Every structure is written in structure tokens, then in C-alpha cells.
């Protein structure tokens, strides 16, 4: 039997903090603008569709809408980028754990998957480091946690994620309050 691995080379699956829980293709068809067969390796998110559609019709989003949405229109038009469209990308797992990815670095603020796959929240976390850092260029399968050897990257990404949470957004604009009011247990690192 050949078997089936829906996550391909990526670790984890839906509900997890790992790449297998978040990576999906985005297919866009726009005749006379997007060349057939063109590909793009820029990191985008489904939340970007709001800012992209607003950009397409010339609408300005208010500060309290699309706080994490970045227009992908430059990618769709094939514009040359001088920097990535987004500073970083934040993901969450089923249990509310967060990760932040900037370039090839991904910091996961939990000891395991945060979802269904091993190590799942609970007893599976026993003895594991409280967070994970992966160099996705060298380790797309997220197997070698390099947090201990790159504390400066851990600090930079933790600071960036903290800023996003405190500002209630990852894009320019007025700070927004976060829903719920109470501090999640998954934000154990926020004031440490």
C-alpha cells in the first residue's frame, strides 16, 4: 500500500500549531492580470482576502476591521516586492496556543501540537521545553527544536507577538482591544 499523508512533508494536521495544520494552497484566477501557471512563495493568509477585496474596489478599511489582513493585490498583479507583504504571520491551534512566523523562523508558544497530534496538550507535554523554535528553511518538518541555540530569535519573535497582542493587531492602525478581556492560560509567557 502506498498510504496517504495529507500533510505531505509537514508535521501535524488541522487543529495543530505545526505547519501541517496551517499550510494550504491559495488558487487565484484573474485573466489578463495573473498569468496562467504562475506561482508565488510569499506567505499569505485567508484573512488577507478582506484587505485584498477592499483594495480591489478602492475601499478603505476602518481601524476595527481586518486588523490582521494585508492586501495581496501586489502579488496578484505581479508587482516586484522590496520586502515581504507582512511582517510576520500568527497562527493558533485548537487549544488557543499561538505561533508566530517571520521569514524562515517559526516560534511556537507551546510544548507540543496544541491540537490532536502528538505531543497533544496534557500528559504528552511532560518533560518538553515550554516553547519551540524551528528554522523552516533547514527543517520544514519541524523536528529539530532550536530554541536553546537561538535565544535571540526566541526573544525577538516573543516581543513581536507580544506587541501584536497588546495592540490588538499585526497591521498599521489604531490599537484595538482584544475580545474576552481575561488573559488566556496559553499566554503564560506574556508577562514573563
Q: What is the pLDDT of residue 182?
A: 65
CA 2 to chain centre: 31
Which residues lie below 8 Å from residue 3, measured CB to CB, with a gap of 6+?
A: none
Angle at Cα 81 formed by Cα 80 and Cα 83, nearest 5°?
165
pLDDT in tens, 100-148: 999 999 999 999 999 999 998 889 999 999 999 999 999 999 999 999 9
The percentage of residues in the chain with a pLDDT greater than 70, rounded to a whole number, is 97
* One CATH from 3.30.1120.10, 3.90.1150.200, 2.30.30.60, 3.40.710.10 for 19-187: 3.30.1120.10
41 vs 136 pLDDT, higher one? 136
Mean per-residue pLDDT, 72-86: 94
What's the pLDDT score for residue 128? 95
pLDDT tens digits along 139-182: 999 999 999 999 999 999 999 999 999 999 999 999 999 877 66
* Interacting residues of 133 by C-beta distance below 8 A, sequence separation 6+: 105, 106, 107, 108, 145, 146, 147, 150, 153, 154, 157
Could you tell me the pLDDT band of residue 5, with boundaries at 50, 70 and 90?
confident
Is the predicted pLDDT of residue 1 greater than 60, yes or no? Answer: no
Residues of the chain by 3-state class (helix, strand, coil), percent to 5: 25, 10, 70
Where along the chain do its domains lie?
Answer: 19-187
135: burial class by Cβ within 10 Å (0-12, 13-18, 19+)?
middle
DSSP state of 76: H
CB atoms within 10 A of CB 53: 16
Task: Tell me the CA distances in angstroms from 160 to 16, 165, 166, 171, one per residue in order.
Answer: 21, 9, 10, 12
Who wins on pLDDT, 5 or 33?
A: 33
Amino acid at each position: 500500500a502506498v498510504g496517504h499523508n495529507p500533510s505531505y512533508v509537514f508535521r501535524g494536521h488541522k487543529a495543530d500549531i505545526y505547519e501541517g495544520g496551517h499550510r494550504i494552497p491559495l488558487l487565484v484566477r484573474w485573466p489578463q492580470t495573473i498569468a496562467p501557471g504562475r506561482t508565488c512563495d510569499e506567505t499569505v493568509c485567508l484573512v488577507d482576502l478582506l484587505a485584498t477585496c477592499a483594495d480591489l474596489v478602492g475601499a478603505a478599511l476602518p481601524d476595527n476591521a481586518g486588523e490582521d489582513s494585508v492586501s495581496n493585490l501586489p502579488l496578484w498583479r505581479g508587482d516586484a516586492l522590496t520586502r515581504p507583504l507582512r511582517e510576520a504571520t500568527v497562527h493558533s491551534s485548537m487549544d488557543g496556543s499561538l505561533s508566530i512566523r517571520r521569514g524562515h523562523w517559526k516560534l511556537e508558544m507551546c510544548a507540543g501540537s496544541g491540537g490532536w497530534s502528538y505531543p497533544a496538550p496534557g500528559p504528552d507535554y511532560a518533560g518538553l521545553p515550554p516553547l519551540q523554535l524551528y528554522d523552516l528553511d533547514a527543517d520544514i518538518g519541524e523536528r529539530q527544536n532550536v530554541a536553546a541555540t537561538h535565544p535571540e530569535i526566541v526573544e525577538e519573535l516573543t516581543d513581536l507577538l507580544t506587541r501584536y497582542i497588546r495592540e490588538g493587531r499585526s497591521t498599521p492602525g489604531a490599537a484595538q482591544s482584544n475580545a474576552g478581556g481575561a488573559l488566556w492560560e496559553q499566554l503564560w509567557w506574556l508577562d514573563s
